[in-house]
Structure 1
Amino acid sequence: GNKGTGVKIGIIDSGIDYLHLDLDGVYAGGEDFVENDGDPADVYGHGTHVAGTACAEDNVSGVVGVAPECALYSLRVLNDSGSGSWSNVIAALEWAVDNGIQVTNNSYGAGSDPGSTVKAAFDNSAAAGILHIAAAGNSGNSKGNNESVIYPAKYESVVAVAATNKSDTRPSWSSTGPAVELAAPGVSVLSSWNDGDSPHDPQPIFFDGDWYKEGSGTSMASPHVAGVAALVWAINPDLNNTDVRQILRDTAEDLGDPGKDNKYGWGLVSAVAAVAATGPVAPPSPAVNVALSADKTDYVRGEDTTAALTAVVTDEGGSAISGLDASAFTTTLDGANVTVTFSETATQGTYTGSLDISGLEDGTYTVETAVTDIRGVSGSGSATFTVGTALTEATTASVGSIGYATSGGKNSDRHLNVTVAVVDDLGNPVSGASVSITLSHDSGTSWNATGTAGADGTVIFSLKNAQAGCYETAVTNIVAEGLTWDGVTPANRFCK
């Protein structure tokens, strides 16, 4: 079923206990804007509770979040006492935009308007595509007739979420006003907690190997909506934040006065209705994708007699096309038919063959391979190489190889390590090269990183708690003294 796989949710709060048994598998990273480091751990507990409601894993432990396979990010703006500054919130919003966060949860706030700079930060990040969800506040009265929605929930660019109890009615403390847009459960919500202590009763309880706690407030209601937004986005990644927001409104269960009102907004958020209204995305048209590469970009006339070609063949969904024989491949060199016999390697969907280049003159050549699968669907890929005299001085840096390995966890498969080897055009390792990559998951989630090559010309990038699925690495830049990067990333793919 739909579990919000890969949708990036940023919890702007007191941090997250990313080692919690219900969160460690979905945690994808973050930033600490209080301590100004990359370790946004939670001491206060509030952020861990919020995170569990949105994304607690569907495992044998504890609770299950609304979107248990989201990509969970911790953006810590509140200190160990639960207090913070608006400047930290602004920094977190900027980070969210830069790192492709799709949904933010904002279970904090103030009754007074923090000013135009904060408003602009929310407005601009929403314009950049982020859907902001926020707690409406806990300043309501028994009659529900005061205007008490807090900031940032009160901003037009933010979805303000009120609370309901198990009877789907408003607790007296849930804030009210025209800014209320949706309602969600917010009374006695059981979720993950960081340790055995809480500044507010009831105190945490320990079961299934970790800490959990019941909490009440619009802080607990807001992440329910953030999770439903992730479910909608997971069905159709082509939707924008305005589309998702409208679906949440249109499918909410009307509570209170008919239509939108000041207590429940458009009504109680409904995961079932929102997902049903989104509907499945039309399947992609049948396709064969061919990523063709040669073992070198430059061959030496008189020395190199063959070019080793690699063709990675996938279908319209990105799955490997395996089991093809040599007759499925047709190869041309600068438009003229040539003989290359491809055979499948131990890696499904990856085929190799040798191209005879012994008779080629100096120049630049394009080799193209067309592949027809058993459905009769065809596709092609090409690679360009040069033939010339031997180099005496290196001028170019290139990616020699990209390798994958896993480590950690019970089965040594929790973390993913990507090794990129950089070589020059004489075949020597390039030490000290700065290498930048984008590591992409088949869910659409991606990570950016930069590292420096060691004496052997390799850089190892590590992705902690890598989720199951398939990964590809794109090298986005190489900077090496005296050398120019050729801009080529070899075909690569790894599934865990």
Structure 2
Amino acid sequence: MRMTTTDTAPGPGLTWSLRGRGPDDVAVLADPGPGPGNGAVPGTGRGVRVCVVDSGVERDHPGVGPVAGSWVVLKDPETGGTEVRPTDTGDSCGHGTACAGIIRRTAPECELHSVRVLGERFSGTGDVLLAGLRWAVEQGFDVVNLSLSTTRARFAEELHSLADRAYFNRTVVVASAHNSPVESYPWRFASVISVGSHQEEDPDLHLYNPEPPVEFFAPGQNVTVPWLGGTSIRTTGNSFATPYISGLCARLLSSHPRMTAFQLKNALYLSAANVRFGPRLPTPAGEVCDDSEN
């Protein structure tokens, strides 16, 4: 079986083994993030670059605020090749503006960027999605919000490799699960943070899912979002839960800039409203150890 992560060449950020080295050579300064079970995620997103890979963003929408940069993926109809260019064109269908607005509301001081990979009526192709995500990872954004996926299995391997590359390069990809129970990508990969929606009324509540494959649930049902023409609508979908988690990641990174994707997942888990701390589960010997009062 071919493992995509083995394609990544060793570099300054990758350690394949500790041959000839000891604990002092890999010392880590702890950056624990929020305390367990309190639901509070610190930070405002200041200094964190977030890229929305979607349908574009309406730059002058009052619910979105400033957009630092906008790009579009163009596909050559003759050769099938793709390229990414700067663009002044805003949003093609409203979806990206909605996601950007949720991120802005959650992490008000983050630096927003946009890459348009969807056209009118939410149309798009897997190769354009792949090109947009690849470009975002290559730019080194801190967080990439991907409120879309492809059901085309032929893109799975390359998306998996790209997701792993982002993970190792400290770019956090936050991806929405499909709204239907179908196989789609890249949210299924462990190297991204996968998100579905919950129906709780609290707009600032996220939950950890103890039953994979979706990792976290966030507000995404009957939520108010910015839309085209400076308007807003109420809508439902995993797409709109995902930017809330992206915003939380931006807030965490603004307070704890050394956090890796692994640490971010752990911080989201510890701050989830449904995570409780109490007696430990039985050990293999059948004993229960309760150190909650120690």
Q: TM-score, normalised by structure 1?
A: 0.42
Give the CA deviation at 1:192: 1.1
Partner of 1:228: 248
1:311-390 to 2 correspondences below 5 Å: none
2:85 aligns with one of 28, 37, 47: 37
Paired letter, 1:163: S
Q: Supply the distance in 2 between the matched residues of 1:68 and 1:119 (Cα, whole angstroms).
A: 31
Paired letter, 2:142: Q
Aligned to 2:43, what secondary structure does the other structure show? coil
How many equivalent residue pairs? 220
Is the contact between residue 149 and residue 179 of structure 1 (CA under 8 Å) also seen in structure 2? no
1:69-108 to 2 correspondences below 5 Å: 69-108=109-148
- Per-residue CA deviation, residues 313-368 of structure 1 (Å, 9 max, x unaligned), is xxxxxxxxxxxxxxxxxxxxxxxxxxxxxxxxxxxxxxxxxxxxxxxxxxxxxxxx
Partner of 1:397: none
Assess, with a 3 A threshold, how the Cα gap between structure 1 residues 150 and 94 changes in structure 2: closer, same or farther: closer
1:52 aligns with 2:101: yes
Partner of 1:193: 227
Partner of 1:138: 179
1:164 aligns with 2:208: no
1:181 aligns with one of 208, 215, 220: 215
Aligned to 1:81, what secondary structure does the other structure show? helix
Aligned to 2:121, what secondary structure does the other structure show? coil
1:237 aligns with one of 240, 245, 257: 257
Give the CA deviation at 1:229: 0.4
- Per-residue CA deviation, residues 116-158 of structure 1 (Å, 9 max, x unaligned), is 1222122212221111111112115xxxxxxx46321111111
Is the contact between residue 33 and residue 75 of structure 1 (CA under 8 Å) also seen in structure 2? yes
Q: Supply the distance in 2 between the matched residues of 1:51 and 1:3 (Cα, whole angstroms).
A: 15
Partner of 2:51: 10
Assess, with a 3 A threshold, how the Cα gap between structure 1 residues 84 and 176 changes in structure 2: closer, same or farther: farther
Aligned to 2:231, what secondary structure does the other structure show? strand
Is the contact between residue 13 and residue 76 of structure 1 (CA under 8 Å) also seen in structure 2? yes
Q: Supply the distance in 2 between the matched residues of 1:191 and 1:6 (Cα, whole angstroms).
A: 24
Q: Supply the distance in 1 between the matched residues of 2:259 and 2:210 (Cα, whole angstroms).
A: 30
Aligned to 2:170, what secondary structure does the other structure show? coil
1:129 aligns with 2:170: yes
Give the CA deviation at 1:109: 1.4
Q: Supply the distance in 2 between the matched residues of 1:149 and 1:232 (Cα, whole angstroms).
A: 30
Is the contact between residue 13 and residue 78 of structure 1 (CA under 8 Å) also seen in structure 2? yes
Q: Supply the distance in 2 between the matched residues of 1:76 and 1:217 (Cα, whole angstroms).
A: 20
Aligned to 2:215, what secondary structure does the other structure show? strand
Task: Indicate the structure (1 or 2) with the bigger Cα radius of gyration.
Answer: 1
Give the CA deviation at 1:177: 6.3
Give the CA deviation at 1:30: 3.1
Larger relative contact order (CA 8 Å, sep ≥ 6): 2
Q: Supply the distance in 1 between the matched residues of 2:170 and 2:58 (Cα, whole angstroms).
A: 27
Q: Supply the distance in 1 between the matched residues of 2:255 and 2:165 (Cα, whole angstroms).
A: 26
**What runs of 5+ residues in structure 1 fail to find an aligned partner?**
56-64, 141-147, 169-174, 196-209, 259-496
Q: Supply the distance in 1 between the matched residues of 2:103 and 2:255 (Cα, whole angstroms).
A: 17
Q: Supply the distance in 2 between the matched residues of 1:71 and 1:132 (Cα, whole angstroms).
A: 16
Paired letter, 1:101: F
Is the contact between residue 172 and residue 192 of structure 2 (CA under 8 Å) also seen in structure 1? yes
Moved over 4 A (4+): none
Is the contact between residue 156 and residue 185 of structure 2 (CA under 8 Å) also seen in structure 1? no
Paired letter, 2:86: G
Assess, with a 3 A threshold, how the Cα gap between structure 1 residues 166 and 177 changes in structure 2: closer, same or farther: closer
- Per-residue CA deviation, residues 431-486 of structure 1 (Å, 9 max, x unaligned), is xxxxxxxxxxxxxxxxxxxxxxxxxxxxxxxxxxxxxxxxxxxxxxxxxxxxxxxx
Higher helix share: 2
Q: Supply the distance in 1 between the matched residues of 2:183 and 2:220 (Cα, whole angstroms).
A: 15
Higher strand share: 1
Q: TM-score, normalised by structure 2?
A: 0.68
Give the CA deviation at 1:228: 0.3
